[in-house]
Every structure is written in structure tokens, then in C-alpha cells.
Chains A and B, each alone.
Chain A
Amino acid sequence: MKNVLVVDDSATMRRMVMASLRSIEAVAFQEAANGLEAIERLAIGSVNLVILDLNMPDMHGMEVVAFVRKHASFHHVPIIVLTTRSDDDSRSAALAAGATLYLNKPFNPATLAAIARRLLFVDAN
């Protein structure tokens, strides 16, 4: 069983992401509504993939990426940054901070599922 952590302050958006990944077999979801919660989930559980929004209260997604990459026990976890385009958020900055991939909302559910499957089952091995 692989664990996917979906981090977004919008509950509707989290549900949309999870619905997109429904087709992937053997996946369990964890949710977090802000950056601190996301770090906690990572600290106490085994997370195999993070799907992360950037614009969140409490702790910006970019700070989550930076923190994850600095911590030995989960710095290898792939992170898909999934964010609504805005001139405040740049792809290059996210990738430089350590994000594995940068996708924009609105996203195509089939594309997201294909990418997630690959990161969970192919690239991981």
C-alpha cells in the first residue's frame, strides 16, 4: 500500500485530487489543510508521494518543500507541486527548492494519475 499526502487548503480541491487518483490500485490517502499539518503527517507516517498546493495559510507550500528536502528521513519523498497559476509562484523557484514536478491547476485528472502512478510504482524502484 502506498500513501499519498494531499495538501491543499481547499477541501474541494483535495477531493478533486483524490478522485483523480481513484483509478490507481493500492493507494491510501492522507490529507492536510496547511503546511504545518503536512509536516506532521510526514513526520509520523510513511508517505510515498506528496501532492502540494503552494498558496496556503500558516506555511507556504514553498517552505514545505524546503523543509522536506532538509530532513534526512523523508528528503527523498517525491513532491508534485500542484498550483493555480499566479505571477507569484514560479516553476523555476519551486523546482529549485526541490519539488519533483510542477503542475498547474486546472489539471487533467488522467495526466495527474499517470504521473502519480509512475512516481509511486516505477521511479521509486
Chain B
Amino acid sequence: MPTDSPSTDDGSSAFSEFLADYYIECDEHLATARRSILAIEPQLQQSSIDRSLLDELFRSFHSLKGLSAMVGFNEAEELAHQLENFLSAVRKGHVRLEVPGLETLVSGIGTLEQVIAARRDGEAVPDPSALVSSVSLLLADYAENSNTTAPTASASHSPVSLGEKEKVIAEKLRAGAKAWQVTFEPSPELVSRGIDVNFVRNKLLTLGELVHSEPLIDVAGHIVFAFVLVSNDERAPHKLQAEGLVCEAFLPRTATEILQATAVAPAAGDSESSTHLTPPNLVRVDLSRLDDLMRIVGELVLSRARLEDSFRRLNGVMPGGEMRMLQETNSAIERQLRDLREGVMRVRMVSVREVFARMRFVVRDLVRELGTQATLRFSGEDTQIDKYVVERIMDPLLHLVRNAVSHGLEPSDERIAAGKSAVGHIDLRARTTGETVIIEVEDDGRGIDAEAVLAQARARGLVAPQPAKVSDPILDVLCLPGFSTREQADRASGRGVGMDVVRTVVEEMGGMFSMETKQGQGTRFLIQLPLTLAITDALIVQVADQRFAVPQVAVREVLHSDSDRLTLMEKNELLHYHGGVIPLFRLAELFGVDGAKNDSFYTLVIGEGAQAVGLVVDRVLGLREVVVRPLTDRLVKVPGVAGATELGDGKVVLILDVSKLFRVTRQQVNSANPIVTSLAGGTSSLISQNVGAK
């Protein structure tokens, strides 16, 4: 009987049907590897590195190697093999992991990612030989000192010693935690109800730290699983007993006795913490299937809007009692639909942690390249964002972070001279407020010199030569296609997307991009995005006979005002607002809709602080859930319009792109600024044509 598999030749073709799975799983292993590296990095200075982290990193490379071999992808297999070898030597203590080794692992993960991506996208696979040789170099000393190529197997997976675990438990007990021994005896009946060893394990992980887990055979010959849980939750045993689990107080010494007495199998499982744990019970779903689901939910929302419209017409026709019943059912459907929509949205959500982790790698590379000193700080890594948004926002964020390191932060000597710390800081923050996600990239560097930026733009003929004085023109200049202060190098190395691309991507997703800078103190870029793209809450407003939808997230406040509260300054209308004034713009004028100026009108306040403007409309018809249909026809696609939607009465309503509109209107404050041709001139004919066509 053959005891080994022969060649990969037919093996590779036999498994080509699994290529899609292969790429997905590679992504997961690469993400895990990046996480492990980031957790290991701060431990380099310590006397020893957490064994479970090294094990996890080793497993990532090992899995990548095995999977790549199965699909016959030799470059990836070889690369993963080299990285695994190096880590294996580290794990055994033959090689000490120091900075050069870590750098090699980092660039190894990067190369592996590029190699796999190139294969997936059908591009030329980059040459991994430089990396392979740098790993060999790291291992050279070890190879010289040791001739044993096959060390004993037990060395690699000997369980963490009992003494070591006891020490861990004792430390936690001293810190005020409690330890519990939990036993679980599986049975077909329990398992059929979904109560299996994984369920129990996950349950324990929600209550505290799982220090130990192993299978045992009891006196009757039954298999039971024993776990040791360390928890600060006083009610942990109560919660476990409620699940039908046996739970006893656990004392380190009795632990020794129990474990020694029942030493059937070596202890399994290293100490685990939630930071490096493969998430349990995950289902992988193709994003396009979720898109389909979202589309169906969108259609449901539209159907319900039509139903709503029919109800309105039935009012007065139908007997009151029956109408009320129908209305009740209708509002129940509305609630359920909202729940459904939120449920589908939640499924699409992923945390920004992976994105942030990637930024740390970018900063590391750049810092090494440029010789500056920078630390990257995170907050809100657990913020959840739509998977699609995460993918789209990756490049813009990369650009902002690279920009912060290479342009924002000063060299150390300059920083010290300015009385700052030698090491620059970049803060990456994410948070959600209501229906919006906010991502910030802030540096404590030199800030942006507005005069220098304007001078350069003038020199390039991008803006008119006369001095412009507007509230926030620098970002507009930075975002001009073709403007760059020092970006040539980035572009040459093929990494560059310009600031113009950042703004475009953000606005295409219905978001807002803004910036604050203080000379000598730093710069903060702010990206605001809707949580989900397909369905949004919008205010339906009316101007003359036209209706528009304004995404609710963009509107700060709705004011009802009269003409006598207006101040006219030169040609601009100003409205008193919170002790100050804000410039007003009439939507009717912006879109060239004819209509008499009413004495009484509504103002939508858009934007914050000094940059707020008011958008004047005749009436606010209400708040509706709208399904955003993007305008794909280039002739119809105009700045200021994000898409179209249907309100249930069959009529199409344009959804305003408030951030673009907001920018254009703000620029009108300063008519001398010629950066963007005014929206009104560019689109009014088109809109009136559309209106006429209906």
C-alpha cells in the first residue's frame, strides 16, 4: 500500500474548482498573520514572546503553504514554506526573533499577499527570490550550528506545562479573578440541540479567559471535556449552571491533582484570549449574494411605499374601522421591514480592525524608507462598516496615512526644535454616530501652509492668479486633479492615488470629506460615510412643483423661517442662526426651477460650525426611507445629484449629493474663486429638460 501521495500534477488540476475558496481562505490567513505580527512586535524587547502568538503565526504560514500546494501554486507554497521554516526555528528557540527577523516576516507577508493577488488577477507573479534569500540568511547561523534537520516531533507541540498554567491562574486569582472548573459531557441528544463542545467553549469565552481545555475519560469510560475558566464575572457559575454545565470552584493545587490523576492525554489548547482566536461559527458568504438580498429588501421598501400611497388614496373611501386595521398591519410591516433591513445590514458589517492593521504595515514601511519617526495610534477599531465601504475606503485611507507620514510629520530635529516629541503621532479613529461612520486621520505634524499650497497651484495654472479668500479652499486645491506637492515619488512607485481620488471615492459613496489644519500643530482629515449605501432615510422637500430627496444624515437642522429674519449683505442672503449668521442658498436657483420667493420657507442647515450653509426649500414633505438608485448615464450624471429614487407614487425624485452641493454653494460665497464652474449654470438646462419630459 502506498504510504505517501505521489505528485501534485493531477492533484493541482483536480482541485481547481476550489480556487475561489482558496483565495478567500488565503485572505483570512494573511489577516490573521498580520494581527499576530502586530501583537508580537511589542514583545520583541521582552525576554520571551507569547508562545501562543508564535503558534498562531506558524499555523497561518503552514495553512497557506498547504493550501497553495493543493492548488499547485508553487511560488506561494515556497514563500510560505520559507516563512514557516523561519518561524519554526524561532519557536524551537534555535533563533531569537529580533527586529531584522520581524521585518522579514512583515515583508514576507506583504510579498505573499502580492504573489497570491497577482495569481488571482492573472497578472505577472512578482519574483519572491529576494525574500526567500533573506530568510535563508536569517537561518544561516542556525543551519551552521545544527545538523539535525528533523528534530523530534514532540518538541513542537508539547503542551504548555502545568506549572506554567498554574502560574497564570495564580496570578489572575491574585488580581481578584475567580477560577472555575467546568465539565461537559457530550451526548447525541445535546449535540442535536446544538449544545456541543464548540458551543460550550464559546460560551466560556464570553464569560472570561479559557486557560485550559482537554478531553478526559471518566471512571465509567465516558468522554468528558474539562475546561478551566478564569473570570471576573461573579455570576459566571450561575450562568453556566443555567446551561446545564457542571461548574466547581477551581483551586490551583487541586488543579494539579486533577490534571495529574487524569493524565490520560496531554493537556490540549494553549491559554487563549479573545485577541488571537479564530472566530467561531462563522459562515462565509459571497458578497454578491448579500447584494442580491439587499436589492430584494430595497424592492420591498419600494413596494411598501406604493402600498402606503394606495392607503392614502383609500382614506375616506373605506370604513374607518377596517381602514384602521389595515393601517395597523401596514405599520407592522413597516417595522418588520426596518428590522429586516437592519438585519441584512448587520450581516454585511465588518470591523475596521483589518483595515487599520494594514495601515500599521504601511507606516512601518514608510518610516523605514524615509527615516522619520512615527507611531500610529488607533481608536475604535471595532467600529463596524459595510464590507463594500471597507473595500472602497482602503485606498483613500492608505493615501491619507502615507500622506501624513511623508508630508505631514516633520523630521525629528525639526520637531524637537519646535518643542514637540521627537516621534510623530498619527491617530486613526473610527466611530459611528447614528447612520454615519466617521473615520479620522490626524497627525501632529507641521500642518498645511495655505499660502504655499495656493502659490503652487497658481504656479501650475490650476487656480486664477488673484488672491482668493474663502473659508476652506485649501482642501479644494489639494483635491484638484493634477495637484501634488511632493507626490511624484508616490506615484512613481505605483502606490499613489491623489487627494482628488480620495474625495471622489468618498463622495461617490455619498460621504463627506473635510480637513482641519493648524500650522505647526497638525492636520486632521475627516471622512464621513453613510453606514449603508443602498437604502437611506431622506427628507423629501419641495421647491415649486419639484420634489427632491435630501439624505437625512447630511442635515443638521431644519428651520422654519420668515423673510423678515433675513439680512441682505451685498448680494448674499444671510440667516441668523445660533447667535451667528449662515449664508443661504435657494435650491430653486441652484437647479434653475422657477418659483416665486415665499415669505415663509424652510431652511436645511448643512455642514458644521463656520462652514455651515442653509439650503432654502419651500416645503418639507416628510421623512422617508428611500432606495438609492445610482445614475449611471453619463449625460444625466451631474455634480450635486447622487442618484434617483421612487417614492411609491411612481414618480422619480432626484437625491441630492449634499456634500458636493454644499461645496459648490460655499464656493459661490466667493464668486472670485474660479475653481469649479458653478453648479447652477452647468445643470439647470438638464434638470429642466428632465422635468419637461415627465
Contacts and interface: CB of A to CB of B under 8 A. Distances in A.
Interface of A: 9-13, 15-16, 19-20, 35-37, 39-40, 42-45, 54-60, 62-63, 66-67, 70-73, 83-84, 86-90, 92-94, 101-112, 115, 118
A71 B223 contact: yes
B165 interface: no
Contacts of B159: 63
Contacts of A115: 1-2
A57 B56 CA distance: 8
Contacts of A88: 88, 91, 151, 153, 155-157
Contacts of B85: 87
B275 interface: no
A93 B4 contact: no
A37 B12 CA distance: 29
Interface string B1-29: 11111111011101101100110110000
A21 to B, nearest CB: 12
A89 B152 CA distance: 8
Given A39-B215, A62-B153, A88-B88, A105 B187 contact: no
B269 interface: yes
A16 B221 CA distance: 35
Interface in B59-108: 59, 62-63, 65-67, 69-70, 72, 84-85, 88, 91
B62 A55 contact: yes
Nearest to B191: A44
Contact of B196 (A16, A37, A71, A87): A37
Given A39-B223, A43-B222, 12 more contacts: A12-B24, A12-B67, A13-B66, A35-B268, A40-B225, A63-B266, A67-B215, A71-B221, A88-B151, A106-B12, A108-B10, A111-B6
Nearest to A115: B1
Nearest to A110: B10
Contacts of B150: 87, 90
B283 to A, nearest CB: 10
Contacts of B7: 108
A66 B6 CA distance: 27
Interface in B197-237: 197-198, 201, 213-215, 217, 221-223, 225
B225 A84 contact: no
Given A16-B70, A84-B69, A45 B223 contact: no
Nearest to A10: B63
Contacts of A20: 14
A44 B215 CA distance: 13
Most buried by B among A42, A84, A103, A110: A84
Most buried by B among A35, A58, A88: A88
A111 B1 CA distance: 10
B682 interface: no
A37 B223 CA distance: 12
A108 B8 CA distance: 7
A81 to B, nearest CB: 11
Contact of A106 (B17, B69, B91, B213): B69
Nearest to B9: A108
Contacts of A110: 10
A107 B72 CA distance: 11
A111 B2 contact: yes
B188 A44 contact: yes
Contacts of B11: 106-109
B88 A70 contact: no
A101 B3 contact: yes
B62 A84 contact: yes
Contact of B217 (A54, A71, A87): A71
Contacts of A102: 3-4
